[in-house]
Structure 1
Amino acid sequence: MPADLRTINTAGVLCHFAQATRYTQFTLHEQNQKWSTPIVLVVSEELPPGVITHAQAAQPHKGGIVEDSRSARAALGVELARSAGEIARRWFDTSALAVESKQDGSPVTQADREIEQYIRAQVAEHYPDDSFLGEEFGETTGTTQYRWIVDPIDGTKSFVHGVPLYANLIALEEEGTIVAGVINLPSADVLMHAERGKGCWKNGKQVHVSDKTELDGAYVMATWLEDWHPDSIVDLQSAGAVIRTWGDAYGYMMVASGQAEAIVDYTTQAYDLAPMPVIIEEAGGMFTSLDGARDFNGGNGIASNGAVHDSVLKIVNQG
C-alpha cells in the first residue's frame, strides 16, 4: 500500500483513503475482492462526536447497494454539505465570480449551480429513486418516500458581497415530514445538523435553544426589515426585545444554539426553510409559518426557543 494511504475498518469493510486532504473521497473494498460497483464516499479524518459517516450509517452489500435508510441518507447529507462548503469557499475567495440575475431579480452565480449539480449527482448515484428539489434546477420526481431539498447557497447576496454568513442547506423529507437537515456555514467554519430523535449538533457538540421566557432582552433576528410593519418593530422594542438583521440560515443557527431567541422571515421559498423544522425542534425550539402552522412551505416562517414564540408571533402578525 502506498505510504500516503491509511486503512480503516468501517462496518466490516476495509477502506483506504489519502491523508492529503481533510475530506477525501475513497472507494470501499472487501479484504480480498474489490466490489463490482465501488461506492465513493467522503469522510473526515477526525470526525467530531455526534457525527457518523455515510459508510457507518449505510451497511454495504456486494454490488454497491447501500442500506435504504433515513440515517444513511442523513449522514450522506452532512458529508455533501461539507463538500459543498469546499466548493463555495473556492469561489468565495476568487475575483473571477460572475453574478447573473434570475427572472425574479435574485442573484445567481457559478458557485450556486456547481454546488447543486454536485449534490444532485451524488444523490442520484447513491439513491437514484429519491425525489430532489433544488433552487437552481427545479424538481425531479422519484418513486421513494424521500425527497432531498437543497439551497446550494443560502444568502447569495451576502456571498457575492464577501460577507461570510452564507450557507449550504440540505434537508431530507420523508413522506411530507422533514426528518434531517444541515446548515453549513463554510466561511464561518460552522456546521449544524439534526435528525429526528437524535438531537441537534453544532461542530460536534449537542446544542439547545435558550431558556429565556420573556421578550425583555430577547434577541429577535430578521433577514431584512423591509417586509415588517413599523408597529411590529416598535412593539418588539417596547417589550425590550433586541432586533438584529443577522438573518438567513445564520439566524436560525443562532436560535438553535441558544444565541438568539427568535427569527422571523416574511418572504421565503421552500428550499430556504426546509432544514429549519428539524434543526430547531431537535434543539428544543419551535418552528411554524406566520399563521402558526407547522409548515416550511407556506412562504414565510418563524423559529424560536418556544417560550417566546406566541408573543413574537402575535406582534409580527399585526398590520
Structure 2
Amino acid sequence: MPALFILFKRIYNISMKKFIEGVSKKAGRELLRLFLTKRKYSKKSKHEIVTAADLISEKLILSQIKKKFPGHQILSEEAGMNNIKSDYLWIVDPLDGTTNFSFGNPLFSICIALTYKKKIIAGAVSIPVLKEFYYATKGQGACLNGKKIHVSKTADLKSGFITFCHGSRQQYVKEILKYYRELKLNFFDARQLGSAGIEMAYIAGGRTDVYFAPGTNSWDVAAGVLIVREAGGKVTNFKNQEWQITDKDILATNGVLHNKFYRFIKNA
C-alpha cells in the first residue's frame, strides 16, 4: 500500500508540474507578443500600475485552472478571490514586474502557486524573455528548466548580493529607505530588480543571497517561497517566524545569512 501511494503521488506531482508549466508557457508567449508591441498602462496607485497585458495573462491562466480544477479556490492579483470554498487555493500573479514590462525591461515574470490547507505544495516562476522556468513541489527539491538548483553558500553578510522590494504603499517606501541607506553605505550591493518572483527565484538558483520586503502580497511571493525553501534556503517574516500566506513582510535568504540579516532588520 505505501508503495502504491508513493507511485500515485509521483504521478500526481508530474501531472501537476506539466499543467503549471503548460499554463505558464501559454501566458508567457502572450506576454512576449504584447511586450514587443506598444505598451500602455494606467496607474492603480502612486507606486503601482496595471496594463492590458496583466488582464490578458490573468484571463488565460484563470480559465485554464477553472477548466482543469473547477472546485478549487483562486486568488489572483487583479481578479481577487473567487467565491468557491476549497482546501486547495491557487495564488496567481499573471504579470509580476508590470512596471518593468511597461518600460521595456525584460525582468518580469509569471508566478503561480498551489496551496493545500494553507500550505504551499507547488510553485512556479516563469521568466518569458529569459526562457527560464523555476519550479518546486513540496519535498521534491527545486529546479530551473528541469535541472536541480540550490541556494548560494555565501556566509559573509557584507559580501552578499541583496535585493529588495517596497510594495505599493507609501509607508513601506519610507521603511525601505531606512534599510537602503545602511545597506548601500555598509554592504557589498543592494538593489531592486522590480519583480519579487524573479528576486525569489534568483535566491533559489544561487544568483543572489538575500531578498526582503516590508510590504508585499501573497501572489508576489508564494510561488517563490516554496522554490527557495526547496532549494535549501529559508523564508520568514520580519519577526523571524516561518512565513505564512497572510504575512505582509518577508525575508528570504540562502539560510546561512538568515539570522545575520534578521538582526540587521531588527536593529536598523
With structure 1 as the length reference, what TM-score do the two structures score?
Answer: 0.73
Unaligned runs of 5+ in 2: 1-7, 167-172
Instruction: Give the length in aligned residue pairs.
Output: 253
Task: Please name the residue that 1:261 is paired with.
Answer: 209
Task: Please name the residue that 2:159 is paired with.
Answer: 217
Partners of 1:170 and 1:260 lie apart in 2 by 21
Q: 2:247 corresponds to which letter in structure 1?
A: G
Task: Please name the residue that 2:43 is paired with.
Answer: 101
Higher relative contact order (CA 8 A, sep 6+): 2
Matched, 1:154 2:93: no
Q: 2:98 corresponds to which letter in structure 1?
A: T
Which structure has the highest helix share of the two? Answer: 2
Task: Please name the residue that 1:283 is paired with.
Answer: 231
Contact in 1 for aligned 2:200/2:211 (Cα 8 Å): yes
Shift of 1:71: 5.1
Closer/same/farther in 2, CA of residues 253 and 226 from structure 1, 3 Å limit: farther
Out of 214, 218, 241, which is 1:270 matched to? 218
Contact in 2 for aligned 1:289/1:296 (Cα 8 Å): no
Q: What SS is found at the alignment partner of 1:274?
A: helix
Shift of 1:126: 0.8
Shift of 1:259: 1.2
Shift of 1:234: 2.2
Closer/same/farther in 2, CA of residues 106 and 255 from structure 1, 3 Å limit: same
Q: 1:288 corresponds to which letter in structure 2?
A: T
Q: 1:147 corresponds to which letter in structure 2?
A: L
- After superposition, the C-alpha distances for 1:251-274 in whole angstroms (9 at most, x for unaligned) are 212111011111111221111111
Task: Please name the residue that 2:258 is paired with.
Answer: 309
Out of 229, 238, 242, which is 2:189 matched to? 242
Unaligned runs of 5+ in 1: 1-55, 60-68
- After superposition, the C-alpha distances for 1:71-129 in whole angstroms (9 at most, x for unaligned) are 5334312211111111110110001x331222676211111111111111111111100
Query: After superposition, where does 1:1-319 map in structure 2 within 5 Å?
Result: 69=12, 72-95=15-38, 97-102=39-44, 106-223=48-165, 227-230=175-178, 233-234=181-182, 237-238=185-186, 240-248=187-195, 249-294=197-242, 295-319=244-268
Closer/same/farther in 2, CA of residues 191 and 226 from structure 1, 3 Å limit: farther
Q: Which structure's CA Rg is the greater one?
A: 1
Contact in 2 for aligned 1:232/1:315 (Cα 8 Å): no
Of stretches 134-143 and 147-156 in structure 1, the one that deviates more from structure 2 is 134-143
Q: CA RMSD in A?
A: 2.3
Of stretches 275-284 and 98-107 in structure 1, the one that deviates more from structure 2 is 98-107
Partners of 1:300 and 1:74 lie apart in 2 by 28
Q: What SS is found at the alignment partner of 1:125?
A: helix
Partners of 2:104 and 2:194 lie apart in 1 by 16
Partners of 1:124 and 1:228 lie apart in 2 by 37
Closer/same/farther in 2, CA of residues 270 and 196 from structure 1, 3 Å limit: same
With structure 2 as the length reference, what TM-score do the two structures score?
Answer: 0.86
Shift of 1:235: 5.7
